[in-house]
Every structure is written in C-alpha cells, then in structure tokens.
Chains A and B, each alone.
Chain A
Amino acid sequence: MTQFLQQIINGLSLGSIYALIALGYTMVYGILKLINFAHGEVFMVGAYTGLHAASALGIDAYEASGRSFPLYLALLVLVVAMAAAATLGMLIEFLAYRPVRTAPRLTPLITAIGVSLFLQNAGMLVFSPNPQRYPAILREVRFELFGVIVTNIKLTIFGVALALMLSLHLLVQKTWTGRAMRALSFNIDAAKLMGIDTNRVIRSTFAIGSALAAAGGILFGLDQITITPLMGVLTGLKAFVAAVLGGIGSIPGAVVGGLLIGLAEQLTAGYLSPAYRDAITFVILIGILLLKPEGLLGVVRVEKV
C-alpha cells in the first residue's frame, strides 16, 4: 500500500510537469490550430537557462559550503528562465510561424519540426551534449508520512504548477488579453474584424506558453537530477499526448491529461515493467484517438466549410 501511494506521489509530480508543458501546446493549438513541435525544445532551453542563471548567481559556492540557496535567488532563477523562454517563444513565432501563417496547415507543422530539430542540435552545440547535474536550487527536505516519502521538491512541483495553472486560468477568463485569446480561438478572422490586434495576442500566447514550459523545465531538472539537450524530445511528445488526451485546445484538459499521463507512466513502470513506461503514453494516444478523438474535456466542433 505504501508502495502504491509512493508511486502515486511520484506520478503526480511528474504529471504536473507534463501538465505545465501541455498548456503551451494546447494554447497555441487552440488559437492557431498549429502543433508547435518546438515547444519541447523551449522547455529544454528554459531548464538550461535556469541552470546557467543559478550558476551565475553563485550556486556552486552555496552547494560547496552546504548552505542552502536563498529563496529570492531561486525565484529569480525561475523568473529569468521564464523570461528567456518567453522571448524565445515569441522569436520562434515571429521568425518561423508568422511568415507561413496563411499557408496550408501542413506547412507550419513541418516548419515546427524544423525549428525543433534546429534547437535540439543548437542545444547540443551550446550546452554540450553531456548530461549535466541540475543544481540544488532548493535544498531537499524529506518528510515521511506512513512510510511514504514526500520531499519539499515534490511539494514545490505541485505548488508551483498549481499556482501557475490557476493564474493562467484567471488570465484567460478575466483579463482583456484572455478574452482576446478566446476570441481568436473561436474565429481568428472575425476577431481581426472586431479590431483585435491578432499578432499581439498570438505573440502573448507564445510568450505565456513558453514561460510555463520554462517553469516546467526547472521543476523537471530539480526532480530528475540530470538534464540533456535532448530532454525535450520525449517529454515534449508526452506532454503533447497529455494535451490530446485532455482535449486539445482545452486548458483544464491539459492539466487533467498531464496528471493522467504522469500517473499512467509511473504505475506502468512500477507494476508492469519500466520498459513500457514510454509505450503506455502512446498506447493511450492511440486509444483516445480511436474512442474519443476530441479528448476527455474537449468539445466537438463542427468543421466549417
């Protein structure tokens, strides 16, 4: 039983990271009907920016002396990484997707794959392809509850993910930008006719999605200990499946999908075989596409002709 609870805790923390990344996929898809395959790489760049920001802020000295890294510096690392990823997201949108926005839908999709491959290899060139240990931005504290180990890192992952998701929800539902995003997602041409600066809204969508991915990247580094420039490939794909599972275009769907994928993966690895941990995600993808293609929380939309 404790083992089962432990796997659930591990699964939920992994799942919240997937959820953060899935939000970026789902927001962009909701508006542009584009699967931004470069999103996994934005997540990677976010993680690396965090790593380098932390070492620029002198984390090595803290780690060597055994003192814990001050919280305000840890938050600064998070903010720097989110800002860098947001800039990268906007840059990708401007350079790679805007010129082909009116082209047939396959064109931006292939462009996205190109950007993704470019960033993977640029990452290997710039950050070195060797796995790097993620600095302990948070000092680990362990609690034991009925034999189940919970660390402050896992709690932080839940906490940060939850806080970011709630703020995103408020942003989308309560602010002008959010309303504009929803308008674009409903009908981009009509929104333009109503005087909405579509470029600006799309830009902010990319910025927000990318910033969330960067937060996911830092949490991933804290949780998984090592990072590599190819970390975004599989994690990005799984987050994409999470977005599809929840219903692509749906923000609560991305959260539910992310948590479910994290749980499914962890339970498969724990009780079936770790060899199937990646496979299960894609079995779920096939299953959902066959049974409920609009996803768990997605809505069926009548295709306009």
Chain B
Amino acid sequence: MRIPRRTLISGLGSAAMALAVGCKKKPAGGTSSSDSSATATEIVIGHYASMTGSTAHFGQDTDRGVRLAMDEANAKGGVLGKKLRVVTLDTRGDSAEAASAVNRLIDVEKVTALLGEVASSLSLAGGRVAQRRKIPMISPTSTNPKVTEVGDYIFRVCFIDPFQGKVMATFARQNLKLDQVAILKDVKNDYSIGLADAFRKSFTALGGTIVVEQSYSQGDTDFSAQVTAIRGSAAKAIFVPGYYSEVGSIARTAARLGLKIPLLGGDGWDSPDLFKIGGDAIDGSYFSDHFAPDLATEQAKQFVAKFTAKYGVPPSGLGALGYEAAEVLVDAIRRAGKDEPTAIRDAIAQTKDFEGVTGKITMDAQRNPQKSAVVLKVEGGKAKFETSIAP
C-alpha cells in the first residue's frame, strides 16, 4: 500500500484518478470552505477513513471502492441532475480524530451524507456526531452491533459480529473439528472484544472449550508473553480477532516460539499487509470475510475487473464494501428524490433487495443487513475461498 502517505484532505481523489487509465473526469479537489460547500450542481458526500496508520489499508481500499462507485454514478450523469463529490478525511485510526473529522465534514464541507469508518471504535465515535447532527451515515464494514445502535441515522452494509463470531466458531468446531481453542484479543478495540465474546459464546455452545484467554492493546509490538502463555496450554488453534498489523506480528511470534497451530480471525485480517508482515508464518490460518474475490457472482466479477483496471490491484473485502456502501447511498439519494439528509435517511432505511457486489441487501429494523459470510484460508501469501456460511 504505497499510494497515499500524507494526511489527506481530499487530495487522494486526484492521486487515485491519476492512476486511472483513460479517466478524463476532473479530480474532486478543493479544501477551503468557500468552494467546497454543497452547491446547486453537486452533492457532497463525506468519507472519513484511516488513510494512514496501522489500519491504513482499511481506509485506502475502502476509499477506492467509494470513489469507483461515485465515478460510475457521475459518468451516468450523476444523481437528481447533480454531480456527486467525495471529500475524504483521514482519521489515522484514532477515535478522537474520527469524531473531529466528522464534525469538520459536516461544518466545513457541508456534506449531505457520510460514509465510514471501517473500524467499529471509530464508527462509534463518528456515528455519535452524525446522529446528533442528523446526517445519515453508512458504515461499510463496522461489524460491532453497537455501531448502528447509536441511532436511526446510522446504517451499515455488512454483517455483524455475533454472526461473524458464530461463523468462525462453527467453522472451527465442525469443519476443523477443534475442541480446545485459545483467544487472543485486542482489549482497546470494540470490534475485537465483541468478536471474541461472540466466538466464545458460540464455541462453548457447540461443545468446545476456551482453554486460555489472553489480550493485547492496539499498537503493541511484543506478543511473546501472550504467545508463551498460549504455548503452555492445550490450545489447538488461536482465535485472534484483531487487525492485520498485529495479527501478522502475532503469527511471526508464534512461529518463532515454535507454536505450530492455525490462527483464526475475522474481517480485520483483510489486507495484503497481513501477508507482508506475517510471511509464511500466517500460512494455514483462516479468517471470515465479506467477500472472496476468487469466488464471485457475475456482478462481483465485473466489479473486480473494473476495480483492478482502475487501480492496478484487485479489491479486498474492504474495497468491495466501500463500493457497495456508496452504491446503496447513491440508490437512496435517487429514491429520496432530493438531496436532503432526513429524506435520504428514510430512503436508506427502506433499502430492499438491493443487488450489491457481496450479496443482496435489505435493511432490517436495526439498520443492519442480513448477509452470509465466507471463510478464507491463507495459502502462499493469498487468501483463498474455503467455504461460505449463511446466517
């Protein structure tokens, strides 16, 4: 992930478009308040994402998906006769930064709707602001249930952790036939805690035992104490519901300490950096995700082709959901018939049987869609489709 390094305001648009082949459209730019507020000819969409920091891949890939969807909508003449313009603010993976980015998107950029964040802790921080200011927000990939419980303006287009935890527990118990598993979770991260709870509940209900539970804090680089403790137990796998940077280090530490058991995880693993950091130590591990690029519907195949043509790399699940969240939003604005936040909120809530690239989306009363999950296996620096588990 080499593209953006600086804290970007909306310059990423220009950078990303410079890469695009044959894309002639004017880059979305402009950061000063005078020329960036919504006008009669455009609708401004705010995207807050971790463009830098230890979860930079999440923000960057999501932003690519979002921009791809918006560019496509604009190429078809925009929505309601207006062009869509995305303004991306960097959260650096920090929740305080997420809240201030959302404030700034609303106050300075005058956005009509918001997309973001990937990390649940950040979506919670940003979502509280969006809810208070009554601006609809769609999180592409925050799976913690609390995110949409913030209020009726907050939506998501992915499954939630109780389901994701159940998927990995079922997979570990029934497909891998494991009976004893360790958990290593990130105690500073709502996503990781929620997923660990869901996994524990489902795994013990299926007759398995959690032999040891260890924790770390986001940003830690030394995991030898935890891995040593797990090595002293009878665990046959470790469930690590964390983010890819730390997971890669944990896999290496385990290999270094001679612990040869698979790691299991969730969609927080989804980044090419996982393989860069983890190397061959991460081979033979499994994680649940929203989307498997190698097993796709016709629509998903088209999306992968377009994404790859534009950015030169295939999308991860993050890019797919960023694209999907943006599409759901565009569809809602179209159905709302006006670019007014409350009308858009109502339209998103009524989303029904929307054909997205990762599946059909129907918002339920809690503003969550019901979707199935895939389990991917890591092999030779790639994630390959293993199985699919329906809700």
Total interface residues in chain B, CB < 8 Å: 36
The answer on a CB contact under 8 Å between B222 and A224 is yes
The answer on a CB contact under 8 Å between B225 and A225 is no
The answer on a CB contact under 8 Å between A130 and B1 is yes
Quick check: is A266 within 8 A (CB to CB) of the other chain? Answer: yes
Quick check: is A151 within 8 A (CB to CB) of the other chain? Answer: yes
Q: A149-B257, A275-B217 are in contact. Are A10 and B224 (CB under 8 A)?
A: yes
- Which residue of A is nearest B276, CB measured? A133
Q: A149-B256, A149-B257 are in contact. Are A128 and B52 (CB under 8 A)?
A: yes
Q: A3-B229, A225-B253 are in contact. Are A130 and B224 (CB under 8 A)?
A: no
Quick check: is B53 within 8 A (CB to CB) of the other chain? Answer: yes
Quick check: is A270 within 8 A (CB to CB) of the other chain? Answer: yes
- Which residue of A is nearest B214, CB measured? A274
The answer on a CB contact under 8 Å between B232 and A274 is no
Q: A225-B277, A226-B245 are in contact. Are A149 and B258 (CB under 8 A)?
A: yes
Chain B residue numbers with a CB within 8 Å of A278 are 217
Interface residues of B in 233-276 (CB under 8 A from A): 245, 248-249, 252-253, 256-258, 273, 276
Chain B residue numbers with a CB within 8 Å of A274 are 214-217, 220, 225-226
Q: A3-B231, A149-B256, A224-B249 are in contact. Are A128 and B5 (CB under 8 A)?
A: yes
Docked pose: A266 CA to B1 CA in angstroms = 33
- Which residue of B is nearest A272, CB measured? B225
Q: A131-B245, A275-B217 are in contact. Are A2 and B56 (CB under 8 A)?
A: no
Per-position 1/0 for B54-70, Cβ under 8 A of A: 10100000000000000
The answer on a CB contact under 8 Å between A7 and B214 is no
Total interface residues in chain A, CB < 8 Å: 36
- Which residue of A is nearest B229, CB measured? A270
The answer on a CB contact under 8 Å between A2 and B277 is no
Quick check: is A303 within 8 A (CB to CB) of the other chain? Answer: no
Docked pose: A128 CA to B232 CA in angstroms = 37
Q: Among B54, B225, B232, B258, which residue has its beta carbon within 8 angstroms of that of A10? A: B225
Chain A residue numbers with a CB within 8 Å of B277 are 131, 133, 225-226
Docked pose: A223 CA to B253 CA in angstroms = 9
The answer on a CB contact under 8 Å between B52 and A151 is no
Quick check: is B310 within 8 A (CB to CB) of the other chain? Answer: no
Q: A2-B232, A226-B248 are in contact. Are A125 and B6 (CB under 8 A)?
A: yes
Chain B residue numbers with a CB within 8 Å of A10 are 222, 224-225, 228
Nearest chain B CB to A298's CB is how many angstroms away? Answer: 28
Q: Among A125, A226, A275, which residue has its beta carbon within 8 angstroms of that of B221? A: A226
The answer on a CB contact under 8 Å between A130 and B54 is yes
Per-position 1/0 for A117-142, Cβ under 8 A of B: 00000001100111101000000101
Q: A129-B92, A274-B220 are in contact. Are A3 and B228 (CB under 8 A)?
A: yes
Can you add 15 more A-B contacts, CB < 8 Å, to A274-B214, A277-B222? A3-B232, A10-B224, A10-B228, A131-B245, A142-B256, A224-B222, A225-B253, A225-B277, A226-B221, A226-B245, A228-B54, A269-B226, A273-B215, A275-B215, A278-B217
- Which residue of A is nearest B2, CB measured? A128
Chain A residue numbers with a CB within 8 Å of B187 are 275
Give 5 closest A-B pairs by Cβ, nearest first.
Answer: A269-B225, A270-B225, A224-B221, A3-B232, A10-B224
Docked pose: A49 CA to B227 CA in angstroms = 29
Q: A225-B253, A274-B217, A275-B215 are in contact. Are A129 and B229 (CB under 8 A)?
A: no
Docked pose: A227 CA to B1 CA in angstroms = 16
Docked pose: A266 CA to B92 CA in angstroms = 29
The answer on a CB contact under 8 Å between B221 and A7 is no
Nearest chain A CB to B318's CB is how many angstroms away? Answer: 15
The answer on a CB contact under 8 Å between B258 and A6 is no
Per-position 1/0 for A267-296, Cβ under 8 A of B: 101100111011000000000000000000
The answer on a CB contact under 8 Å between A131 and B258 is no
Quick check: is A259 within 8 A (CB to CB) of the other chain? Answer: no
The answer on a CB contact under 8 Å between B224 and A266 is yes
Docked pose: A225 CA to B229 CA in angstroms = 19
Nearest chain B CB to A82's CB is how many angstroms away? Answer: 22
Quick check: is A92 within 8 A (CB to CB) of the other chain? Answer: no
Nearest chain B CB to A265's CB is how many angstroms away? Answer: 8
Docked pose: A189 CA to B384 CA in angstroms = 70
Chain A residue numbers with a CB within 8 Å of B219 are 230
Chain B residue numbers with a CB within 8 Å of A227 are 221
- Which residue of A is nearest B225, CB measured? A269
Docked pose: A82 CA to B364 CA in angstroms = 59
Docked pose: A131 CA to B220 CA in angstroms = 11
Chain B residue numbers with a CB within 8 Å of A124 are 52
Quick check: is A255 within 8 A (CB to CB) of the other chain? Answer: no
The answer on a CB contact under 8 Å between A225 and B248 is yes
Nearest chain A CB to B365's CB is how many angstroms away? Answer: 37
Nearest chain B CB to A257's CB is how many angstroms away? Answer: 18
The answer on a CB contact under 8 Å between A142 and B216 is no
The answer on a CB contact under 8 Å between A225 and B5 is no
The answer on a CB contact under 8 Å between B249 and A225 is yes
- Which residue of B is nearest A235, CB measured? B221
The answer on a CB contact under 8 Å between A129 and B232 is no
Chain A residue numbers with a CB within 8 Å of B5 are 125, 128-129
Chain B residue numbers with a CB within 8 Å of A230 are 219
7 pairs, CB–CB < 8 Å, chain A vs chain B: A10-B225, A14-B222, A129-B5, A149-B257, A226-B248, A270-B229, A275-B187
Interface residues of B in 199-225 (CB under 8 A from A): 214-217, 219-222, 224-225
Per-position 1/0 for A141-167, Cβ under 8 A of B: 010100001010100000000000000
Docked pose: A277 CA to B325 CA in angstroms = 39
Quick check: is A231 within 8 A (CB to CB) of the other chain? Answer: yes
Chain B residue numbers with a CB within 8 Å of A269 are 222, 225-226
Q: A14-B222, A275-B215 are in contact. Are A151 and B256 (CB under 8 A)?
A: yes
The answer on a CB contact under 8 Å between A144 and B232 is no
Docked pose: A274 CA to B214 CA in angstroms = 8
Chain B residue numbers with a CB within 8 Å of A131 are 54, 245, 277
Chain A residue numbers with a CB within 8 Å of B252 are 225
- Which residue of A is nearest B92, CB measured? A129
Chain A residue numbers with a CB within 8 Å of B220 are 274, 277
